[in-house]
Amino acid sequence: MCIIVPISLLLIGMPLAAQNVVVAGGFEAPAVLNARSLLKPHIISGPYHQILDPVPTAGFSNQYTVRTKWGTHTIRGNDLLAKRISELHAIAQLEQASKSEEFEKALRSAASKPFYMVGNTLQDPVETAKNFGSGAMRFIKRAGEVATRGGKRSANTDNALESLIGFSKQKREIAYRLGVDPYTDNQILQQRLDDMAWACFGGGFAVRATTFAVGGAAGGLMGGLSTADDIARAIRDNAPSDLSAMNRAALSQMGISEATVKAFLEHPAISPSSQTIITTKLRKLAEAKGHEDFLKMLVTSRDTTDVLFFQRVAGMMEVYHRKVSPVRQVLNLYGLPAIHAANNALVVPLSLDYGWWSEEADWFSQAIASYKPPVAIAQRILYISGIMSPRAKEQLSNRGFRVVDKANAWLYR
């Protein structure tokens, strides 16, 4: 029996300068990577950032130290790194545009109006993950443990008054032009978007076609890592309440219960953008069963890192459905999404950066091997966004799995 697990890596390049030390029990210690052999040059450094060495791994995620003009930050995982680099370029564009005398006059004019002081308040940001127990590792570990044992509104959504006066629509338009999420938890970007939106809406500042010049690394990242333009336009053109209504209708048509829809739409860590992206990806699996099972797993997320994990997995499922074999059913594999495809494959899509042979990987492989899906399968596939160490690949292959890694190879060296 062949098992295929897809794992997608967004930013990693080859060859990989990593040496995994084999420790007790034949397991590998977490690797320490080198950014220069890991990432493309324009990802490592740009006009607004520099990724520092070393790059340790923890919880199957790369831990990046990124020096920027706005401070030095620790960023966990390839998905979040890509998002933050795009946001750095957006912040720089906004700051450059705000240096003009025209902008200063517009902002002063907006500040003099009564609604400015009432509306210029955003909710606290969603906390990003600060421990390695989030994202891929947390769900992989949970799946192994279960198998071993035998079995409010989002933050940074539009304020009601802001929506009423049209401020949020202006802000969403600016975010769309910059290719960033208007509901990001990046508070520096939120403040810059606020200032620009108030200057435009309340002060008459004109954003022209040449106001924001997005290119180079930012343009490449946004082109590859952002969602399809139809989804981006929906996020731009609809207030959160409208997006919620649209997503609710789509999910109801999939036969998902009201209780699960409610838990999904009101989850504090799932932004309107993520809700819309995930709903759209699931809708593209129209003929498949098990949409509700996916959402029930998703709503166990604790933070935005967990949400990004499921969002990436939803995208990987849709790509497999479109490019490899139609998805027949989404399954709950001990808390991890898996799919049964028309080619009779059990496919486990995983969004992780760098996988090594560990106790968690051992548990996980046992969980997949022991899992008895409700349908007949001819092969088992691990579909991975990132990279697996040679030893991990060997061990998984010996257990009958087919491992497909580097699913997002277009960003590799």
Q: How far is CA 102 from CA 90, 120, 172, 207, in A?
A: 20, 21, 21, 11
CB 128 within 8 A of CB 305: yes
Each residue's pLDDT tens digit, 190-201: 999 999 998 998
pLDDT classification of 311: cutoffs 50, 70, 90: very high
The answer, yes or no, to whether residue 14 has pLDDT greater than 50, is: no
Question: Residue 41: its pLDDT value, please?
Answer: 87
pLDDT classification of 227: cutoffs 50, 70, 90: low
Each residue's pLDDT tens digit, 261-273: 999 999 999 999 9
Locate the domains of the chain by residue range. Answer: 2-77+123-158+227-411, 81-122+159-226
**Which residues are paired to 404 by β-bridges?**
6, 383
Q: Identify which of 34, 31, 20 has the alpha carbon closest to the alpha carbon of residue 65.
A: 34
**Which residues are paired to 59 by β-bridges?**
none
Each residue's pLDDT tens digit, 148-183: 444 444 555 666 555 556 888 999 999 999 999 999
> Amino acid identity, residue 291?
H
**Measured distance CA(186)–CA(381) in Å, rounded:** 36
pTM: 0.81
Give 42 or 246, the one with higher predicted confidence.
246
CB 147 within 8 A of CB 367: yes
